[in-house]
Structure 1
Amino acid sequence: MTHAPQIKVPATYMRGGTSKGVFFRLQDLPEAAQAPGEARDKLLLRVIGSPDPYQKQIDGMGGATSSTSKTVILSKSAQPDHDVDYLFGQVSIDTPFVDWSGNCGNLTAAVGAFAIHSGFVDADRVPDNGICTVRIWQANIRKTIVAHVPMANGEVQETGDFELDGVTFPAAEVLIDFMDPADGEGSMFPTGNAVDELEVPGLGKLSATMINAGIPTIFINARDVGYQGTELQEDINGDPKALAMFETIRAHGAVKMGLIQSPDEAATRQHTPKVAFVAPPRDYVSSSGKAIGNSDVNVLVRALSMGKLHHAMMGTAAVAIATAAAVPGTLVNLAAGGGERNEVTFGHPSGTLKVGAAARLENGRWVAAKASMSRSARILMEGWVRVPAGQI
């Protein structure tokens, strides 16, 4: 019996923020995978090691969590005044599915560096020392992101002393600006309300802030579902009933936001929307053993990604947190103490994060010009990934 050999595809394995993913240049993909469709999805699934009923992704590059089951495809931008087009694919761990419905804010921190390394940024715009401003077109959500990448002696600076909770080692700081972060012509609140009543089977009516900023996100109060906002991963991910409850909330919130027509469709849109719960500050101990005092943060937030509580915070959800905190009366804003604010420090399972956003009323509708946060990024490995030719 003749078996097809493996093929090799140029790739770079990168950490961005609190996530890791496999990065590709579009032109390096096999020809059939250079266009959206089944061939591309099959390739990325096999690269990552999905679907895996054991949920370990042993036979691939994935790390068996939503934070490490990620792929990125980059190309020279076709958009005016942009350097690079950034397409993100969230790969399901146990089903044959790649979700293209949203962005990964954490991996955005690595896009700028990859774009510089790949020659997507014109050489005359890349300083030998200082900051290189990389203009990113986020193709999933059709938004502009600006990454401020530090340079030293003509090379991307990756090492430094910037510490990011959820990442073990310090690195160079990368400032990210998410421009006009609200989806759909500035419709930040798809229902038109800062707070809605969300009818959820088995739970009744829940207060919810549903926002399109960074990524569609449903915020609920921790106390309304029996939590304090200090929970760590094992408190949620080890409880099948809790996970099922949050998925039900997510599905019904997605319908209310107009993202899907019926709750059953949520299974085909796993990456978005996110669901998160918020609470006022209180003392807790992070997953690393770090003590977080109630005076260290303005608000506590826990968020789920791909059906599990995230170990830190998704970058796009951090944008949603910053934007919601800037709008008086949202659940995030109220949990943070209310009033007007243009930045917020929130507590998450791995520690804290400071994010900023400015929101304003225009013709009776809330809009945001940008949201900002600091991240870091680093190349972990570069070369080729190999996949069995007969399985893609």
Structure 2
Amino acid sequence: MSAFWAWTVLAAVVAASAIIVEGGRRLLAGRLSARWPGAGRVARRCAAPAFAFAAVTGSNAAMPYQLIGDGAEGAVRHALRIAVIGATTWLVLRIGYALSDPPLARLMRIEGERNRRARRARTQMLLLRRIAAVIIVVLAVGAALFTFPAVRAVGAGVLASAGVAGLVVGIAARPALGNLLAGLQLAFSDALRLDDVVVTQGTWGRVEELTLSYVVLQLWDDRRMIFPVSHFTEQPFENWTRHSSRLLGSVELHVDWTVPVEELRAELYAALRENPLWDRREWMLQVVDVLPNGVVKLRALMSAADSASTWDLRCDVREHLVAHIRDRHPEALPRFRVDSDPVADDAAPSPDGETPANGAPVDGVAEGRHADGARAVPRRDGPAPAKSLRRA
């Protein structure tokens, strides 16, 4: 066969492979998409690796190696073999991702009581997909490396001393393997899922991404906090949505003893009924403590559908109760009370034996009277007179 026909056959084989791939793509995006809506999405995602796979396999099958020089034949054959491995890996990964994306998208749209199970299934599917992708890539890299004769010789030596090699690899990859096992433990023990609301190290966040090596928390101000996966298996953390997203919120107020608790309880209930964030499940107002400075502590409990609603509802209730006490019962605002020693009514004689007409001196300072007749007795060596100061 002449060189012209050999290269013509190569071009014809590559073109035929591309035509076959294009026909399959049009079939998936056309007729099959009516029965299976995801077929068009699969065809679009797999088109590029499918064309690459068709081109390298056609070239490997029809390449006229006899027309290539002895020095370049081995290099071309080796390069095409590695290209076939790479294109196959790319195509398999794209097919796997294209087939798993529709169920993952359906799980994201599930709300209500089934949302917890949907988030658990989605977390497990994502981790399994990542594990499968890592395994496929590792196998592909290993297959490509073993096409080199020198690597095959090294591989045989490593297999001969598998125990020592395994020990060395295990020690070197201990953090990565620990995170891998921690990710699997979190996913299949249902301790952490995507979209879970967690609190760790005083940080509140929502699980945005859960991988085999790290967990991304989206904070309330749209910052991202990244933790290693092993952190959630070695350190305690709060999971506010493990069984349900409903939460109880509390508002604490320090008020004077004169506060009308029953009226404030009725006002709390009226405010909750008008607030759409309250899920009408729980509410309560109690006096939970009496503090030494003459102040009582009130705690208002209320329930909401999720953590964000609970936070907003707490802020609304706190503002409403503070405004109600300030406007309707200002005497119930917290006060500081300071007790002083009683002052004797009898006036002490002065050093010269005389007593001023307006009162007796106390420690060298005469007692005076206000315009309303009340005595004002300053003291230099004792506590201040009894008084009531409103807390700022």
TM-score (norm 1): 0.21
Structure with the bigger percentage of strand: 1
Instruction: Give 1 or 2 for the bigger CA radius of gyration.
Output: 2
Structure with the bigger percentage of helix: 2
